[in-house]
Chains A and B, each alone.
Chain A
């Protein structure tokens, strides 16, 4: 434990800014993964245990596309579209069979898929740590905001994720697709009776979640190292985020993700050994005080 470092940091704005921005990028990446998780849970009532794998696939695809073309825009596009298409295949082949099934089956199918996907990544890209490197456009000197050092890519990442959050929120609230999703989350049988193809809708929601996860992977590729196990660690954290924010709530995912991001960065200063423990502590407190999560409506 090193509380001095924490108090020292909290008393200097430059350190605060630096830590807060890195907390924000962790939070934003988590949000993009967690929001897919929460959407899929909200509509299909399954916890997509394979969700982290799509983040991983996105990151690896981004790296490959970037190395081939040198364009980060194309890399991001490749990550999102690739993960999305892959998601459609997985949903059609496996997930559709376990909707409404018992939890044990859902868990097993997902567990098997995670094993397979991790191994596939290992076969295609190799088991060792990889890194993509920073795109040229962001190889500029860092900005100084209130004395804190902020790499420009961080700002881009935060802006990109925030705009996705806003677009997603608006789309769910205003568009027809969004309304259908919300209706299906409420009562899929009724939606189906009203003449909407719920099978297709489920695939759409799953694909949307995978697209966001893939995009998160693409955004993470320049700042994270890539390993075949990277999907699982972010899955656990995203799950904590959704538990804290409340399953099915997008605002909850955003708040939860930022909270976890900040806990991670500031916790790393004060409690270097037990940073992870702090996250779980936060989750445990939320579960005890409000089991449905901060923004969750249903009782868990």
Chain B
């Protein structure tokens, strides 16, 4: 195991232990629910950031895979009752096939076309969920609860155990995605984002790189959907509605695209904001929209991006000061290289 991978692994383990210890500190079930929702949305948003941040592909149809994950998992469990881990793997496989089909058409397209064609495919899936009542339950959603048989001594019907399971899925999912973005493939993806022409000259298959990223992102988004459907014990058409994608795009932007954990920060912020807004205001969209406008037009970048840029600027300044004192006149170019590598 390489050192960064070991560091990430230890970091993940520590995060999981902290999450596992949280319910011991407080008896509030609201916190447990909050973390489970964070796990679902966090996986979803981080997977979107694989596309937006690392691939430079602004997908507005990512909710498709979230919804598909929730529905496939729910339907598989209701109809077959196979063990949960197997059902999760099968759900991810379904999402991978769907992402391959959608991606094969979409990743060829430029910027705004990509954005809206992914959106169109999402709305297609949404309309199919609404129309295919016998299987999906139509606009009422998948009801009747999702059976949660115990496996390996884990009983997900128990809220505590569901909490631990969701936290574990979150940490494992994040570690896997972290591994992807720090692998050679992750760096190829950044190259394709920054300069596709050059990537072609270097012998990179741009189409294939983008498509792989699209499929991976879809798979992890479906994992988020699985957590969500376990949490609400059902699946609803809203999971595949465009607002879901809008929320994820906002989360990614809120937290920042440059740092790997940016979307997680964004998720926590958005959920806090959401809970706050629903408590104080009747018109949820109005308030949320205003906040988004303030963020998008005011700050113009994500919170973690902001922090990182600020730190980088400070470091550059400190470096410049140090250089002046030392009398050398080198340019602090190392920072830039580091920034590119994030």
Contact = CB atoms under 8 A, between A and B. Distances in A.
A116 B131 contact: no
Interface string B109-128: 11111011101110110011
B120 A115 contact: no
Given A239-B120, A277-B128, A283-B117, A104 B249 contact: yes
**Majority DSSP secondary structure for residues of A touching B:** helix
Interface in A251-300: 273-274, 276-277, 280, 283-284, 287-288, 291, 300
B285 A118 contact: yes
A300 B109 CA distance: 6
Given A97-B297, A109-B293, A284-B105, A104 B286 contact: no
B286 A119 contact: yes
20 contacts: A47-B112, A104-B58, A111-B292, A112-B288, A113-B293, A115-B246, A115-B292, A119-B284, A119-B289, A120-B286, A122-B283, A243-B116, A276-B123, A276-B127, A276-B128, A276-B131, A283-B117, A284-B105, A291-B109, A291-B113
A103 B111 contact: yes
Contacts of A300: 109-110, 113
A154 interface: no
Contacts of A243: 113, 116-117, 120
B191 to A, nearest CB: 19
A46 B116 CA distance: 12
A225 B89 CA distance: 43
A-B pairs, 5 with minimum CB distance = A115-B289, A116-B289, A112-B292, A115-B285, A276-B127
Interface of B: 52, 58, 60, 105, 108-113, 115-117, 119-121, 123-124, 127-128, 131-132, 242, 246, 249-250, 252-253, 257, 283-286, 288-290, 292-293, 295-297, 300
Given A97-B297, A111-B292, A273-B132, A103 B120 contact: no
B105 A288 contact: yes
A47 B250 CA distance: 18
B128 A94 contact: no
A247 B110 CA distance: 13
A137 interface: no
Nearest to A45: B112
A172 interface: no
Interface in A102-155: 103-105, 107-109, 111-116, 118-120, 122-123
A86 interface: no
Interface of A: 41, 46-47, 94, 97, 103-105, 107-109, 111-116, 118-120, 122-123, 232, 236, 239-240, 243, 247, 273-274, 276-277, 280, 283-284, 287-288, 291, 300
Nearest to B254: A108
Contacts of B250: 108, 111
Nearest to B292: A112
A239 B116 contact: yes
A111 B297 CA distance: 13
A46 B110 CA distance: 13
A126 to B, nearest CB: 12
A280 B124 CA distance: 7
Nearest to B132: A273
B113 A103 contact: no
B289 A112 contact: yes
Contacts of A115: 246, 285-286, 288-289, 292
Contacts of B285: 115-116, 118-119
Nearest to A102: B58
